[in-house]
Amino acid sequence: MKIASFNINGVKARIGALTDWLAGADADVVVLQEIKSVDEGFPREHFGDLGWNVETHGQKGFNGVAILSKLPLEDVTRGLPGDETDDQSRYIEATVVGDRAVRIAGLYLPNGNPAPGPKYDYKLAWMERLRVHAASLLASEMLVVMLGDYNVIPEPRDAAKPEKWAEDALFLPASRAALRSILWQGWIDAVRIRDPWAGRGPFTFWDYQGGAWNRDDGIRIDHLLLSPQAADLMVETGVDREARAGEKPSDHVPVWVRLAA
């Protein structure tokens, strides 16, 4: 089972790029972030005609997440537990059954800029809720893949120019510590362990501004976290860097993992 994450920065603007990527990706399950659409506005028929089951958790204008799956999506839940007053659409979960059942958790973690400030407070509070919920996912002992746009640069080598991000919510010590506190529960960062002693990158995001792509001034903020049971079945992982060079690209590229499940 191949499972991918793609922050598409507007599903309506990305129908072409997303369709093209899907045609060559051989993915079974794809979680999307920043669909920037309400549920009714999602091009459900377009992707349905291509054989995808679609579950969305949309929002007007901003945010919004979705899951596309070739296999049926079961036990779908929307929203991150822990705060009934949080009305931002950033989290969706579903189970996909291939050779084995895999729990898929798709997330769009708050950006948090400017920091300090209320947006950064929201980011850290959201990460604390994610930490608590992630622990319950691990306790389930299911195969779990928790993936998406984490909006956190884990380490200096995950940025082309780490010094540029020193004051940014994506790289502040508290953001990195909060991500580590989740990882250290026992999650496996699939792209990182592929080559644990490698140098910089691979990157998953290049800003539209300032020619960041042409300078390869990127960061790694889209992550695949695997439960130990899922990591045992990991056979391959990758970052589809070439998607950033396509027509009308998102500022993020897909990341993916293949499980023997």
Q: Which positions are annotated as active-site residues?
A: 108, 149
Per DSSP, what are the bridge partners of residue 91?
A: 107
Length of the chain: 261
Between CA 30 and CA 228 the distance in angstroms is: 21
| Identity of the residue, 80 or 230, whose beta carbon is nearer to DNA in the bound complex | 80
41 sits near DNA (criterion: CB under 7 A): yes
- The distance of closest approach from Cβ of residue 231 to DNA in the complex, given in angstroms and rounded to an integer, is 28
| Identity of the residue, 137 or 170, whose beta carbon is nearer to DNA in the bound complex | 170
- The distance of closest approach from Cβ of residue 113 to DNA in the complex, given in angstroms and rounded to an integer, is 6
Binding residues for DNA restricted to 175-214, rule: CB under 7 A: 208-210
Between CA 86 and CA 150 the distance in angstroms is: 18
9 sits near DNA (criterion: CB under 7 A): yes
Type of residue numbered 259: L
| Identity of the residue, 11 or 145, whose beta carbon is nearer to DNA in the bound complex | 11
Q: Is 100 exposed, middle or buried (0-12, 13-18, 19+ CB in 10 A)?
A: middle
* Contact range with DNA by CB under 7 A, out of 111-119, 128-136, 175-183, 192-200: 111-119
* Contact range with DNA by CB under 7 A, out of 9-17, 68-76, 132-140, 239-247: 9-17
101 sits near DNA (criterion: CB under 7 A): no
Q: Is the Cβ–Cβ distance between 34 and 149 less than 8 Å?
A: yes
| Identity of the residue, 18 or 261, whose beta carbon is nearer to DNA in the bound complex | 18
Total binding residues for DNA by CB under 7 A? 21
- The distance of closest approach from Cβ of residue 103 to DNA in the complex, given in angstroms and rounded to an integer, is 26
Q: Is 209 exposed, middle or buried (0-12, 13-18, 19+ CB in 10 A)?
A: exposed
Type of residue numbered 38: V
Please, what's the b/e burial string for 41-60 (b: 16 or more CB within 10 A of its CB; e: otherwise)? Answer: ebbbeebeeeebbbbbbbbe
The residue ranges that bind DNA (CB under 7 A) are: 9-13, 36-38, 41, 60-63, 110-111, 113, 119, 208-210, 248
